Copies of this chain bind each other. A is one copy, B any other.
Amino acid sequence: MTPTRNDAPPVDPLATSIRDAGLKVTAPRVAVLTALADMPHVDADTVFRAVRETLPGTSLQAVYGVLGALTGVGLVRRFDPAGSPALFERRVGDNHHHLVCSHCGTIRDVDCVIGAAPCLTPVDTAGFRIHTAEVTFWGLCAECAADPRNSSDPIDSTTHTHSEETP
C-alpha cells in the first residue's frame, strides 16, 4: 500500500557522493565511478575503454579530467607504481598499501597494519611535516613465483610471461 505516485528522484548514491564532494553530477563522472567500482587498480586508458561501453561519446581527455577531479576531492585514489601508468581505485580513506608483482605487474591490496595515515613515521623527519606513508611491496605473485623460469633473479620488469590481469 505504497502511494501510487512517487515523484522523488531515485537517490543514486554515486551521484550523491559526487554532488556532496562539490562537483557537478555528469554522465562521464558517474560512468568513471561505475567503471572503477568493479575494476580496482586500472589505468586511465582501461577506464576509458570501459566508459565507452555505456557512454560512447566520451573522450580520453574527459576521462583524464574526471579522474583528476575525482582524485582531487578524494573520491578516487591514484597510485603510481614504477614502470606502470598511473592506476586508479575507489578504495579511499583507509590508507591501505599495495603488493606489486615485479614480473607481471599484478596488484593486490594489503591492509595497513597501523590504520590511520601516516601509518609509519621515520626516526628523523628532517623537518618535514609528513602526511602520508606510501608503502609498496615488490615481489613475485603466486603465479609468477610458480613459474620455474622466474626462480632466479626475482627482479625483472621487462618480460611478462603470463597474461596480465591488472590492467
Contacts and interface: CB of A to CB of B under 8 A. Distances in A.
Given A80-B82, A131-B154, A154-B131, A122 B139 contact: no
Given A80-B80, A83-B80, A128 B122 contact: no
Contacts of A139: 118, 125, 128-132
Nearest to A84: B80
Nearest to A125: B99
B108 A126 contact: yes
Q: Which 10 A-B pairs have the closest CB atoms?
A: A127-B142, A80-B82, A130-B139, A110-B122, A128-B139, A132-B138, A108-B126, A134-B136, A129-B145, A129-B140
A133 interface: yes
Chain A interface residue number, banded: 35 or more
Contacts of A155: 131
A80 B122 CA distance: 19
Interface in A78-129: 78-83, 86, 97, 99, 101-102, 108, 110-111, 113, 118, 120-129
Nearest to A82: B80
